[in-house]
Structures are given as structure tokens and as C-alpha cells.
Structure 1
Amino acid sequence: MAPPARATVEEVEDVDDPYAPYRVGERGSHPSLATSSGSRSTGSTSSTDSTTSAASSSSTCTSNPSRQTSRNTPSSSFGQNSTAYDIYQQSPSAGTQGTFPREGGDEEPLLGGRPFRDAHDPTESTSSDLTSRSTDKEYLYTILNVATDASADAIKDAYRSLAVLLHPDKHKDASRKGAAESRFREVQRAYEILSDPERRTIYDYFGEEGLKSTWSVAVRGRSPREMQEEFERERRRKQAADAEALVKSKGDFTAHIDASALFAPSSRLSRRPPQQQMPGQPRAATATNKQDLPVAPGGMVVPTAPFPRTVTFADRISRIGCTQLIGKHGFETQVTNQTCATFSGQMVSRNGLGGGNLVGTLKTHWSPRLFTEITLSFLRPQIITTKGQFTVDANSFFSWQATMQTLMMPPTFNVTYGQRLSSKSTLTGFTSVRSGTYSLLGWGEDLQGAMVRSEPAAVSVGLTKQIDEGKGWTVQTSISPVDQNISVDYALKVLGGVKLRTGFNLGTGSGMSAFSSAERRLTENVRLSLGLNCSLPMGGVTLRVKVNRLGQKIMLPILLSPEFRSDLVVLFTVVPAAAYTALHWRYLEPSKQRRLRNRLGELRSANREMILERRQAALEAVEVLRDQAVKRAHQELDRSGLVILEAWYGQKDSFPRPSITTAQAERLWNDVKNQSALPSSGTGDVDLTTETYWDVKIPLQALTTRSQLIVPGARSKANLLGFHDPVLGEKKHLLVRYSFRGALHQVIVEDFTELALPMRIHQLD
């Protein structure tokens, strides 16, 4: 499915349309057009119902090859390359809104952690600026300007195109010839590695470090499947060693707290709870019978203490108690490349009564499209649950769950089908059917003495859409014999990383309920979530606190009032939101900006030599590409094709104001021909603090082929020939102002977003 961002180009049927791209297989087509981004799988890591728990199983088991090799997509096109099941899983109603970012976070921790993480593109956990090229798995692809899943023919075509530009024999000037020879060797090495299927596979998994390693298996003669399995084993060994030092298991702990006494009226708390008598303490004098009490006229007994008395804060505190405890703790182990097993213990304690169980789960990925899961409790009540999910195609999925509580009744079923409704957006519809408890030919009618949870049958239909990472909405309606309801959920990110989620539910049997929650990363490994639930006529007001650290979760549902109270809703929603907003803008944001400036200054000072080296290499590449860029610009001018007028790469806010028009294009490139990018002296006196953008019109014009320019996304553009990162560690953009068919166009894209020129949506009025 083509992402909407390129629909203007790719969905044009008229082959004579000047904006239409050259198709795969056509003569002279651009190499990068031979591939597509494909469907990316992001996966979720938590669940609240049968369908969402299925996705949780698939994401936690590391054996799915399709998930391991998937590339991150730009945040600006979030969900456009995802399957319908991924979109459904990340909807707010799925309960996975807090799992949009990976572990490690996409925003800076509130109380410290890794610095200025949000200064990088959120689609990459570490920026290519901060990692050496020996560990960058996409550097060679960037050199050739092809996608990571490019075909062998596309790589060959890209190499030929660059070889024509960079071959040393085409440059007579000595300085340019030396620079061209250096760039040509780099391009030639990239082609040699990527054109060899075995070396390319090793590079895709381990980067250039893998090419230097001696493998324990003989690579020659092995099938791609066998090589992939060996690489997976090597990768898991390294990951297991790193993960062992961080966390060995996962656990959940939930404590239901009744704190309604803190906010209850004094009239309901007028009597002090009986105090325990300490050993050796004399008993207080009390009246032994009714005759010992003073009697008022009319026969009424006069109380010996004032009533009602004042309720103190200590009295309210003493009435706070825990009504229910739930604990889960387990670990996961990999059995085979496709199978992983999970073992966990569970306990529940409520009002002095409790129980526990041991649960085992086996998850198997039969293929990238199909996985199953079976869960068995070893102690009573012995419950067997099977789950599965089948991805029909990129636009539809099918999932199921069957639960057997006892042999005295048939199993219950829950089936969900989802369908992506639009090829140009992430709008997805889903339908769920739940069988509930039932009897079949007398099977299930006699349940005396059986520990069975009864539930009604239900049918749910809904729509969900993910607008951006962390932002989306879901509308769902459910019909059952006991309740008919409609629910709406909405989620978004605010204030630099606070994930806000809100929604309501209206039903004939369940009444009306609403909720809101906010989640924020406190430190590198700790997340805090605060939420408020309220409902009418039953349910009251409940505050929910959740802390998550390295797979260990603590949840505290705190009952504030057994009935709805508007004053408590305002107190625990509006007041905290206003306080945090003021704190964010008055203290957190200014301090973060200061911290960013300090860290970036330290980073650039520590890497000054590397930055100057890459800057000099970019200058040399620009000089090498200059003649060919001017030649192609004049060719495009003659046929009113694609002519780059201005192009800047770096800090968006510092870009010069675009001013060159189409009429000035010919004079512009005549001036470019006579200029020189190489300085007459060394680069040691360059002030890196003031250089916040880089002129890239020459490299982009040189990459133009037959009035088209394609730069693949999902990776930084800093490694393109003639490009240089002037703002190391900061978020970067690319501005391109160009002429096509005599019309002026302009576009700004993020560093990790694909660039496709020309497009109608870029045309200026």
C-alpha cells in the first residue's frame, strides 16, 4: 500500500503527466523507485482484552523475523505503512496508548536520564550523528541513495549513475580529481558489499563490524534462511547478556485502596472505631447496665459524651485500608526461533480471603502472518486459553480467543475481524463477537459446585484511526442482553511528551462513565501514569496511579468516593493539569533548553575533529559534483524540468528566507559554475557554533535523473554525498525550493522523511 504522502505522484494514471514517476522496469527509471517501503510492523506490548493480548504475545516473543528486520518509519507518516492490525492494536481503546514509544522513550526524562533524547528524530533510538559509521547499518545504502530493501538491479543502476559523476578520469583539475577518487572508492566499496547477497545480509544485521568478524559457521553454501537463523542466535546471545544485567523477570502488583474516608462528610464518620486494649492496661470504667446511666425526663438516656463529636484527620487516616491485592510475577524464555515460553505466578487477596495459581504460556510464530498462544493454569481453577492472530494482508486481520473454564460447560469464544477502510489514511474498522457462557445440548446446564465466571454474549463494532505517533481516536459500540453502550476514546501528546488520554462510555445498563489519564517518563527507566475514573450511578470516583520500571509495574486504584462528586473530579483533574502546565513552561522547559545547549556544546567540542573532517569531505564532494550538477541543471532548464533553486539542510529555524524565483534559475547556475566551495586555507578556524545549516543544492541537482529526485526515508540524510551535519545532535530538516514546468515549488521535510520531487502539493500559489 502506497503511503498517502506519495499518492499525488504514484496514483496518477496518465503516463504523460509531468508529475507521474517512472515505473519499475521502464527505461531510465530511477533506481530507488524499484522498491517500496512496504508494511512495517510496530507491535504493541500490552493488552486489556482478547485481541490486544494476542498482539502482546506476538511482540514480546522475539522470534518473529518480520518484526526483527522491520525499519522504523518517519513519525510524520505514522501508521501509513502499518498493517490494519498494528493500527487496531495502537488505538486508544486497545489500552496500549502508553506503548507507542519503545522502551527507552521518545521524550526526555522529567528527572534525568539520557540527555536530550528528544533532540533526535523519534524514529531512531540513537542518531546516526552520534554513532560511528562502523556500526551504522544504513550508511552504505545512503552513499548509493537507495532504500534498504532495494533490489540488486536498483543498486546496480544507482552505482552506475554515481560512477559517471565521480569517476576520477572525468576531472582534469588535480584537487577535484583527488577528491573524486576518494568519493569514487567509497561508492565502489558500497556497491561491492551490497551487490554480494551474503555480505549484504551480514551488513544488514551487524553493520560493518560484522564484515570484519570471523563467523563460526561457513557462510558459503548456506541458504538465506540458515544464515538468518545463525544471525538470530548470535544476536540473541548478545542481547541476553545485556538484558541480564538490567532485568530478569516481569511483574505486576495491584493494590486497591479505599480512601473514601478522606473526603467523606463528617456525619458518616462520627463514631470512632473501637480501639484495641493493650495488655496490662486497666479497663476504662463503663456502665454495667442501663440503670447506671443518667435518665432524662421522659425516659431518654442521656449520653455520657457529646454526640456527634468532631472527626479529626487522624480518624480519617485510620480508616484508609486495602480492599484487594493482586500480584503477578514471571519470566520468559526462548525455546526456538519461533517459540517462546512464559511462566508466572499469580495471587489475589480480598477481604481476608485469597488464592493463587501458576500459569504457563507457550507462544509460537508459525509464519510472519500467523501466531498462536496457549495458556494453562496448573492449579485450581484450571483454565485453558488459546489465542491466535492471522494477518490476511496489509489491510485486514483476524484474531480469536477460546477459553475453557471447566469441562462442565463449553468454551467461550471471542472473534475479531479488522479491515483498513482507506488506502490514504489509517482509518480501520473492526468487529468483535463474544459468545459468552452458554449451554450446548445440555452441556453447561448443571454447574453446581463449579467455579465459573458467567458473562453475557456481546457484539462490538468500532472505528479507529492513528493520526500520528501517540495520537489517535476510537469509537466503539457494543450490544449485549444486559447492556447496550457506546464509547469514545481520544489520545494525544502534549507538553513535550505527556501522553494524554480521555474518553467516555454511555450504556443502558452500565450507566455513564468517563476517564482521563496522563503518562510521563520520570527517569530513563521509570514511567508514571495518573488517571481518574468516574461513573454514574455506580462506581464513584477512582484515582489510578501506575508506575512502570523495567517491566515491573505497580498499580494503585484509589477509591476517593463511592458516589459521583464533581468537586473531587475538578480537584484531581483541573488542578493537577493547571499546576503541571505552569511547572512545565516556567521551570521544566527552560531548564531542558539550558541542559540541551550545554550538552550540545560539550558534544560538538568533543567531536570537533570529526565534524571538521566530515565538513571537509562534504566540501570536496560538492566540488566533484559541481560540473555535473551544472550540466544537469542546464539540461533541465532546456526542457523545463526539475531545477533546484535553493536547498538547505540543518536547523529549520535558521534557514535563510527563500527568495530565488524561476526567472533567476539560469543566472543562478551560471554563478554556481564559477564558484568554489573549497576554502583557500584550512578548516581549523571554522566557527561550528554559528554554522547551523548547509547548502545542498549542488548534491541534490546532481542526483536528479530525468526530472525526478527520490531520497529514501527512514534514515538520516547526513551521509548523502555532499551533505554534512552542521547541528550535530539536533533535529534537522531539509528545505528544497525548485522549479518545474516553469512553476515555483517548495517543500520542507524532516531528516528521516522520504523526499520525492516533483509533486503537485509542493507548488506555490
Structure 2
Amino acid sequence: MASDNESDAELDENYYTFLNLPRDATPEQINSAYRKQSRIYHPDKHQDPESKQKAEMMFNRTKRAYEVLSDPHQRAIYDSVGEKGLKTEGWEIVHRTKTPAEIREEYERLAQAAAERRLQQRTNPRGNITINVNATEIFTPYDDSEMPRVEIGSMSIAQSIEAPITRKDMIVMSGNLYSSNGTGNGGFMIAGRRLLNKGWLEVCLGAGNGFLLGLKGGRTLTSKITVNGGTNMNFQENGVIPAVFSTLAVQLDKHTIGSLTLNAGPQSSMTTQIDHSTDQHAISTSFVLGTPHIYFGMSYTRKMLESEMKLKLAAKVGTFGFMGEYGVEKKVSKYSSLVATVSIGVPSGVILKLKIIRSNQSYVFPIHLSDEIVPAAVFYASVTPIIAWFFVKKVIMDPMEADRKNIEVERTKRQNEQRLITKKLEAMAAIHLMQSTYNRITNEEQARKGLIINRAIYGCLSENSTQFKPEASHDVTIPIQCLVRDGILQLYESSKSDLPGFFDPSLGDDKILRIEYTFNDVPKTINVKDNEPVRLPG
């Protein structure tokens, strides 16, 4: 069975390029392109068995491209999520008037459901490791003869595993360890969770600081209201300590959720929170009334989607004092992110928090720089992550990204090896079938002193050279000439490898199309990047 990564590596068919159409092609343009290619590839146009077999192969591709692009529903799916969307089960129940955004959302839902079925029996590990570092002596006076001490103040580890038993039942096992100043404690918990109609129910047993018995549950009351709650009974030497908690969440509008959380137990509290999130930003406000503190908090996140970065600002004020935070989160790979946050407050002082997120695992390093708000500590807390990021990016990330790209290209080549061979055979078949069309168009253009393609090569150039690599290029003179219509060659913005008579000679490498042509008896040569549009004469 193919993994998700393997599925991502599969090459996608570009039906627009195969028919040499723009992405916004009208139904009339689609019909016209289909008719033109059908005249070349229809099996009835060829008599000998070899040509007829090649024609059937190319006509089936032409017919498939036409079927998708001429059907508004299939075209909408294809435009939104590509060919893989057409292979996803469940589209028959999707309304045909959905917008592209809704189609993409529906595809993601269907794909996620398929992934959940594939991963039904796999565990889902989650974890958090936090190491608190005390570096306050760096920014406080000390004897010049002594080096400032940097030590680990505490460390905590939490891990959990979710193991599906059936489509509705799951076992969750979790554990945690905490150590500070030579002493520590820990705990273990196992829970059984069952999905119910519009809700869920969980029973948990734990051991650590006494025996723990808990019951949790949640239910969707309406399309906009959900409620979660539960109770714990902690059996300790000095008695039983009960705790009750509940959360009511309300969808206020498309982008806003409000919630009210109540906790009754050793540390009782009531929390009111409003979260507003869009594609560009997120704002969260909360008010906590409880023991031992009462405070108000607000945070703002600016989402920079193009650079895969988030800028964060947060502030909190209450009976404990106040605290302000600013930081940045940068996505460094599909599953990994780096986070750096500077916290300034009273009485906490200055803290630099570094966080590494890898899939469902996170590693947190809070570094306590100063007990007071010292300008030098604030400066170095702000500058150090920037300098470290540029160093790590240059020395570690960029070489790793280059290696990852090479590995991805090799993996894609291996996975699509048979498909690439098939595409090459199809290209050769197409060129064979184009011969009569090529002769006709060439004669017509010569008669009018129009656009004559003398030579066209598609592929990769040798390093520091204007010459093509023989093993990574091929002649596409015939396919290019066959695309000339009334003295004009029009190619659209997409990879040329999907044009009839073309194939990708070197997957993952930069390619160009070189066209040597004559127009009005004047010879010219142009080099065109793989995805660059072309219009000749220009």
C-alpha cells in the first residue's frame, strides 16, 4: 500500500497542456482542440496495425482530457485539486455547484477519511519534552574570576499513544515524568474512548500521585454549540480529592468561537475565551477568574502564508503581575516548525523560549535569562534567535533541503519509473502519427512564407554551456510544427513535458525549449523556460 508521501510523489496529468489550452479555456476552445487532435489520433485515420495501435493509445488520452475538461463538475474538481481528486471516492454525493474552495475542502475531507481508513490500526504517538534552563547569572553581577553558571532547573516529559481498536473505539495510553532540583514524580494513565452519535465518551484510570478515576464526554448540541465535561476522583493518602470541569463552546460566526470553561477542584477557575481566526490573522482574548490568580490575556497572530511564517504578540495582566510576549514561528518542512518567543514580565523577568515541533512531537527549551527586566537580556533574547536561525539555515537547513530535494526527485523517479517510460513511448507514438500533419502544415507555411520550425529541442543544458545534454533532451521539431495554426505558435504557461510528442527527459531538473525557426524568410532562435508561455512570431 502506498503511503501518503508516495501518493504526493505521483505525477499528475495536465489535460490543459495536452490539448494546448489555457486554464480559462472556453467550451468552444475545448471542443476545437479535441477535434484537431482527433483528426491526428483517431484510429480510423490509420490503416496499418502498428499505427492503429499507437493511435488508439493517443486517442484514449485525448478522449480522457476532453471528458474531464468538457464536464463542468469534473473540471471544477480537477482545477481545484488535480487528477488525484478525480480518483478519490465519494464525489458522487457532492453538489455540482460548489465553489473551488468548497471543492478543495470536500476533497480534503474525503482524502482524510480515506487516510483514516488506511491508518485504522496504526498508533498515533504524541509527545512533549520541556527542559527549563536557568541562565540568570549571565546578566547579573558576579565575580570576574568565576564563569556564570548555566544549569537545568527542571525537566518534564509527556508522551501519549492513541491506538484505534475499531472505527469507533480507541485506547489512549499516556505517561509523564517531572524532575526539579533532584526530586521528581510521574504518572501513567490509560483511557478508553468511544465515539457516539454526535459525541464521545471516555473512561480513564491513572496512577502517580495516588490512584485516579475519571469520566469525560462531549456532545454536539447544534451546528453551532458543543459541550464537553467530566469529573476526576484522585484517591490520596489524606483522602479523596474530586474535580469537575466543563466547557461550552459556541460558534459566533464563520471565523469566531466563544467558550466558557469551569473548573472546580483544588484550583478552581472560570475562563471566558473568544477566538477569531482567518487566513491572514488570529486574535484570542481570555479572562480567568480563579485561584490563585485572576488575569486578562490577549494574543494576536499574523499569518504570512507565502513565507510560511507566523508573527505572534501576546500580553497578560492580573494579580500575578504582567507579562508580554513576542515571537515568530517558521515552518521549515512539511511536518516541522521552529518557534522562538521572548517573554518579558514581572515577576518572571526575561525568558527566551525555543520550541521545535516535529509532527505531533514538540521539544521546548525555556531559557530564564534574568529575574528582572534587564535591557541587555531583552536585546540578546531578541537577537540571538535571528543570528542562530541564519547560521542554522546556511550551515544545516540549506544543505539538508538540497539533499531532501534530491531524495524526493529520486523517489519520484522510482515511483513514476513505469509512467515515465509510458510517457516516452506515447511521445514517440505521437510523433509517428503526426508525420502527415507535419508535412501538410510545413508545406502551407512555406507557401505563405510563414512560420517554419527548422529545429526544436527540449531538455537540460550542460553546465556552463549552451549545448543540450544528449541523455537529457530530445527533438520536438515535429510536435512544435504541428501546433502552428495560421502562422502562429501559441504555448501556454505550464510545463512543456505534457504537450503531445513531449516527455520529461530529466525529472526534477530545470529544462528549456529551444526553437530555431524562420518567419518571412528571416531565421531566428529563442530559448524558453519550461513553464514560460510562448507566442511566435513575437
Q: Does the alignment reach a TM-score above 0.5?
A: yes
CA 154–208 in structure 1, closer or farther in 2 if over 3 Å, else same: farther
CA 188–312 in structure 1, closer or farther in 2 if over 3 Å, else same: closer
| 1:617, distance to aligned residue in structure 2 (A) | 3.4
Question: What is residue 260 of structure 2 aligned with on the other side?
Answer: 403
- Within 5 Å, give how 1:502-651 maps onto structure 2: 515=327, 520=332, 527=336, 529=338, 531=340, 533=342, 535=344, 539-549=349-359, 551-563=360-372, 564=374, 565=376, 569=381, 572-573=384-385, 576-577=388-389, 580=392, 583-584=395-396, 592=403, 596=406, 614-628=423-437, 649-651=458-460
| 1:321, distance to aligned residue in structure 2 (A) | 2.4
**Alpha-carbon separation, structure 2, partners of 1:325 and 1:470:** 29
| 1:724, distance to aligned residue in structure 2 (A) | 1.0
| 1:384, distance to aligned residue in structure 2 (A) | 1.6
User: Which of 239, 244, 248 is residue 115 of structure 2 equivalent to?
Assistant: 239
Question: What is residue 322 of structure 1 aligned with on the other side?
Answer: 154
User: Which of 274, 277, 295 is residue 414 of structure 1 equivalent to?
Assistant: 274
| 1:232, distance to aligned residue in structure 2 (A) | 10
CA 205–103 in structure 1, closer or farther in 2 if over 3 Å, else same: closer
**Alpha-carbon separation, structure 2, partners of 1:624 and 1:652:** 28
**Alpha-carbon separation, structure 2, partners of 1:464 and 1:763:** 44
**Alpha-carbon separation, structure 2, partners of 1:598 and 1:233:** 26
Q: Which amino acid aligns with 2:119?
A: A
- TM (norm. structure 1) is 0.43
Question: What is residue 234 of structure 2 aligned with on the other side?
Answer: none
Does the 8 Å contact 1:361/1:376 carry over to 2?
Answer: yes
Question: What is residue 162 of structure 1 aligned with on the other side?
Answer: 37
**Alpha-carbon separation, structure 2, partners of 1:745 and 1:252:** 59
CA 530–597 in structure 1, closer or farther in 2 if over 3 Å, else same: closer
Question: What is residue 470 of structure 1 aligned with on the other side?
Answer: 308
CA 653–402 in structure 1, closer or farther in 2 if over 3 Å, else same: farther
CA 541–480 in structure 1, closer or farther in 2 if over 3 Å, else same: closer
- Within 5 Å, give how 1:360-439 maps onto structure 2: 374=226, 376-379=228-231, 380=243, 382-386=245-249, 388=251, 398-405=255-262, 412=272, 414=274, 416=276, 434=285
- TM (norm. structure 2) is 0.57
CA 583–144 in structure 1, closer or farther in 2 if over 3 Å, else same: same
Question: What is residue 505 of structure 2 aligned with on the other side?
Answer: 726
**Alpha-carbon separation, structure 1, partners of 2:29 and 2:344:** 59
CA 701–598 in structure 1, closer or farther in 2 if over 3 Å, else same: same
Q: Which amino acid aligns with 1:125?
A: D
CA 357–264 in structure 1, closer or farther in 2 if over 3 Å, else same: farther
**Alpha-carbon separation, structure 2, partners of 1:345 and 1:644:** 75
**Alpha-carbon separation, structure 2, partners of 1:409 and 1:585:** 44
Q: Which amino acid aligns with 1:322?
A: S
**Alpha-carbon separation, structure 2, partners of 1:436 and 1:598:** 47
**Alpha-carbon separation, structure 2, partners of 1:644 and 1:363:** 66
Does the 8 Å contact 1:642/1:738 carry over to 2?
Answer: no
SS at match of 2:471: coil
| 1:701, distance to aligned residue in structure 2 (A) | 5.3
| 1:185, distance to aligned residue in structure 2 (A) | 4.8
| 1:163, distance to aligned residue in structure 2 (A) | 0.4
- Within 5 Å, give how 1:444-483 maps onto structure 2: 454-456=294-296, 466=305, 468=306, 470=308
CA 197–312 in structure 1, closer or farther in 2 if over 3 Å, else same: closer
CA 356–453 in structure 1, closer or farther in 2 if over 3 Å, else same: farther
Does the 8 Å contact 2:259/2:272 carry over to 1?
Answer: yes
Are residues 1:692 and 2:475 paired?
Answer: no
| 1:388, distance to aligned residue in structure 2 (A) | 3.8
SS at match of 1:164: helix
Q: Which amino acid aligns with 1:400?
A: I
Q: C-alpha offsets along residues 142-167 of structure 1, whole Å, 9 cap, x if unaligned?
A: 65567999998876554323102323
- Within 5 Å, give how 1:99-138 maps onto structure 2: 125-128=8-11, 138=13
SS at match of 1:161: helix
**Alpha-carbon separation, structure 1, partners of 2:304 and 2:337:** 26
SS at match of 2:342: strand
Does the 8 Å contact 1:253/1:328 carry over to 2?
Answer: no
RMSD: 6.8
Does the 8 Å contact 1:647/1:695 carry over to 2?
Answer: yes
How many equivalent pairs are there? Answer: 469
Question: What is residue 676 of structure 1 aligned with on the other side?
Answer: none
Q: Which amino acid aligns with 2:392?
A: Y
**Alpha-carbon separation, structure 2, partners of 1:341 and 1:150:** 48
SS at match of 1:615: helix
Does the 8 Å contact 2:308/2:330 carry over to 1?
Answer: no
Q: C-alpha offsets along residues 481-531 of structure 1, whole Å, 9 cap, x if unaligned?
A: 99xxxxxxxxxxxxxxxxxxxxxxxxxx866x654666656xx97x47463
**Alpha-carbon separation, structure 2, partners of 1:346 and 1:639:** 87
**Alpha-carbon separation, structure 1, partners of 2:401 and 2:68:** 45
CA 180–373 in structure 1, closer or farther in 2 if over 3 Å, else same: same
**Alpha-carbon separation, structure 1, partners of 2:435 and 2:303:** 50
Question: What is residue 111 of structure 1 aligned with on the other side?
Answer: none
Query: After alignment, is 199-208 or 539-548 more displaced?
Result: 199-208
Q: C-alpha offsets along residues 246-278 of structure 1, whole Å, 9 cap, x if unaligned?
A: 5x23534253514236747685xxxxxxxxxxx
**Alpha-carbon separation, structure 1, partners of 2:225 and 2:529:** 42
CA 164–712 in structure 1, closer or farther in 2 if over 3 Å, else same: farther
Q: Which amino acid aligns with 1:691?
A: E
SS at match of 2:245: coil
Unmatched 5+ stretches in structure 2: 97-102, 169-194, 232-242
**Alpha-carbon separation, structure 2, partners of 1:242 and 1:557:** 38
**Alpha-carbon separation, structure 1, partners of 2:448 and 2:252:** 53
| 1:725, distance to aligned residue in structure 2 (A) | 1.4
Does the 8 Å contact 1:710/1:757 carry over to 2?
Answer: yes
CA 356–692 in structure 1, closer or farther in 2 if over 3 Å, else same: farther
Q: C-alpha offsets along residues 86-108 of structure 1, whole Å, 9 cap, x if unaligned?
A: xxxxxxxxxxxxxxxx985xxxx
User: Which of 107, 126, 148 is residue 251 of structure 1 equivalent to?
Assistant: 126
**Alpha-carbon separation, structure 1, partners of 2:28 and 2:66:** 11
Does the 8 Å contact 2:277/2:283 carry over to 1?
Answer: yes
**Alpha-carbon separation, structure 2, partners of 1:324 and 1:616:** 59
Q: Which amino acid aligns with 1:320?
A: I
CA 342–175 in structure 1, closer or farther in 2 if over 3 Å, else same: same
**Alpha-carbon separation, structure 1, partners of 2:381 and 2:129:** 23
SS at match of 2:126: strand
| 1:712, distance to aligned residue in structure 2 (A) | 7.7
